[in-house]
Amino acid sequence: MIRNFDARSALLSVLILISGLAIWHFATHVPETGPVGVVLSAEQTDTLLGNNMAAEDIEFYASQGVAFPQLEQIAALNLSRETIEMAGGIRALGISVPDANSAPAPGSLFPSPAKIGVELWATITDPFYVAGTNDMGFGIQIGYSLLRVIIGYTLAAAVAIPLGFLIGMSPLAYKALDPYIQVLKPISPLAWMPIALFTIGDSELSSIFVIFICSLWPMLSNTAFGVASVRSDWVNVARTHELGTLRTALTVILPAAAPTIVTGMRISIGIAWLVIVAAEMLVGGTGIGYVVWNEWNGLRLDRMIVAILLIGVMGMLLDAAFARLQRAVSYVE
């Protein structure tokens, strides 16, 4: 039954994908209208044939929108179509074609799924090329973003988890620090950016600082809450076994609070990944967030969409890693 259920849900997912792509395709698809053909009268055709022009050439140029006077000029050249094409086409030979007839109808500016697919494949097959400061493989750009997130996040964890532990173990500290946490937590991480840029100066360090500050609060408040709400029975078990403070913290409180702490870590990594894109748009230079902004400025929407897709996939992978960690530390009471 479960196998069956999995298969059914997978099938449904694929169907949703296909219909999504189909809607996208038809929304961006413009039929190839091409140049408006010219209809020749019987006498005109006869004249051209009389001028030694091949019937199929007449038909071809007429369909390309070349009008009768120009056709006469072509016929006067007395060259085969092959030769004309080798010489660079009729325009190269000084025969003008009315613009209204030759300009193709404008297609959609928004890239079609097929175009995205081509770009995505190019990215997957060569993710690490470097062709210049503004033209690097998305693998490298994601790497920059990931590195910033990891540095900022690790620093935040190194501060938030021990500090949260202390706050959680001391009801006094919990109550005294709670107002600060509650005020600082809802501040958008990007609001810290000007302060960071002013005090730190360096844009690279500033974006790491922003990641640090946005990862800090969920981990801090979850750790403090998790530690403070460890069941007193379990703490009593530690007490009746004469465990010292450190051993109690490590062998009883940490495993008891671990699910709550890891939940905080999972929320933090999600926020950090959201924020890095915005921060990189702001400070520029490198990173996947910068790529989105740069491709938008260059109107390479296909590359921009591929970058956006990669942001989503990377975020999902980060979340899945923490979900796995969460399963590892969870317990049933």
- Residue numbers of the site for other proteins (CB under 8 A)? 233-234, 236-237, 239-243, 251-252, 255-256, 258, 329, 331-333
Q: Which residues contact 61 (CB under 8 A, 6 or more apart)?
A: 70, 71, 74, 90
Which lies closer to other proteins via its Cβ, residue 118 or residue 243? 243
For residue 295, the Cα-to-chain-centroid distance in whole angstroms is 11
Q: Which residues contact 7 (CB under 8 A, 6 or more apart)?
A: none
* Smallest separation (angstroms) from other proteins to the CB of 225: 18
* Smallest separation (angstroms) from other proteins to the CB of 247: 8
* Smallest separation (angstroms) from other proteins to the CB of 221: 22
* Smallest separation (angstroms) from other proteins to the CB of 133: 50
Which lies closer to other proteins via its Cβ, residue 13 or residue 229? 229
Which lies closer to other proteins via its Cβ, residue 155 or residue 243? 243
Phi, psi torsion values for 133, nearest 5 degrees: -65, -30
* Smallest separation (angstroms) from other proteins to the CB of 244: 10
Residue type, 18: I
Which lies closer to other proteins via its Cβ, residue 147 or residue 243? 243
Residue that has been written with the tokens 């169907």 in this structure = 15
Which lies closer to other proteins via its Cβ, residue 235 or residue 314? 235
* Smallest separation (angstroms) from other proteins to the CB of 240: 5
For residue 128, the Cα-to-chain-centroid distance in whole angstroms is 16
Which lies closer to other proteins via its Cβ, residue 198 or residue 331? 331
CB 255 within 8 A of CB 329: yes
